[in-house]
Amino acid sequence: MNLTLYGSEDRWIAIDCGMMIHQELPGSPLQVPDVEALRQRGITPSALVVTHGHEDHIGAIVWLWPRWGCPIWASPLAAAMLRHRFSQHGLDTGAIQVFQPGDAFEIEPFGVRTLGVTHSIPESCALLITVGKHRLLHTGDWKLDSQPLLGQRIDEALFRGLAPIDLVVGDSTNATVSGHSASEGSVAQALASAIAKCQGRVVVSCFASNLARIHAAGLAARGSNRRVVLAGRAMQRMVQIAKSCGYLEAFPLPVPLKDAGYLPREEVLLIATGSQGEPGAALSRMAQGRHMELELEAGDTVIFSSKIIPGNERAIASLVSALRRRQIEVMDESEHPELHASGHPARDELRTFYGWIKPRYLLPVHGTEEHQRAHLALAHELGIEGDISPRDGDWLRWDGQRVELETRLELAPRLIEQRRSDNRRDSRPVLALVLPVVHDESGWSRVGRLIVDPPLGVEIDEYVLSDWLDERLVDQQARSTRELREFLLDALSHWLFDHGQRVARIHLDIVEVAP
- In CATH, which superfamily holds the domain spanning 4-179+342-416? Ribonuclease Z/Hydroxyacylglutathione hydrolase-like (3.60.15.10)
> Going by C-beta distance under 8 Å and a sequence separation of 6 or more, which residues neighbour residue 373?
364, 389
**What's the Cα-to-Cα distance from 151 to each of 76, 169, 276, 470, 487, rounded to whole Å?**
13, 23, 25, 32, 37
pLDDT of residue 21: 67
pTM of whole model > 0.85? no
Walk along the chain (515 residues) and give the pLDDT tens digit of each residue.
Answer: 799 999 998 999 999 999 876 655 656 677 888 888 888 899 999 999 999 999 999 999 999 999 999 999 999 999 999 998 888 788 888 899 999 999 999 999 999 999 999 998 999 999 999 999 999 999 999 999 988 988 889 999 999 999 999 999 999 999 999 999 999 999 999 999 999 999 999 999 998 989 999 999 999 999 999 999 998 888 988 998 999 888 998 899 999 888 888 899 999 999 998 898 887 788 988 888 877 788 899 999 999 998 887 778 888 888 999 899 899 999 988 889 999 999 999 999 999 999 999 999 999 999 899 999 999 999 999 999 999 999 999 999 999 999 999 998 888 777 777 655 444 444 456 788 888 888 887 788 887 778 887 776 677 888 788 888 888 887 788 888 888 888 888 888 888 877 777 777 888 888 887 66
Q: Alpha carbon 430 to chain centroid distance?
A: 26
Integer Cα distance of 69 and 62 in angstroms: 11
Every domain of the chain with CATH number 3.40.50.10710 lies at 184-337
Q: At 348, which amino acid appears? A: D
Decide if 221 contacts 269 (C-beta within 8 A). yes
Count of beta carbons in the 10 Å neighbourhood of residue 155: 13
Every domain of the chain with CATH number 3.60.15.10 lies at 4-179+342-416
What's the burial of 116, exposed, middle or buried (CB within 10 Å: 0-12/13-18/19+)?
A: buried
Backbone region of residue 161 per phi and psi (left: phi > 0; alpha: psi in -120 to 50; beta: other values): alpha
3-state helix, strand and coil shares in percent for the chain, rounded to the nearest 5: 30, 25, 45
- In CATH, which superfamily holds the domain spanning 184-337? Metallo-hydrolase/oxidoreductase (3.40.50.10710)
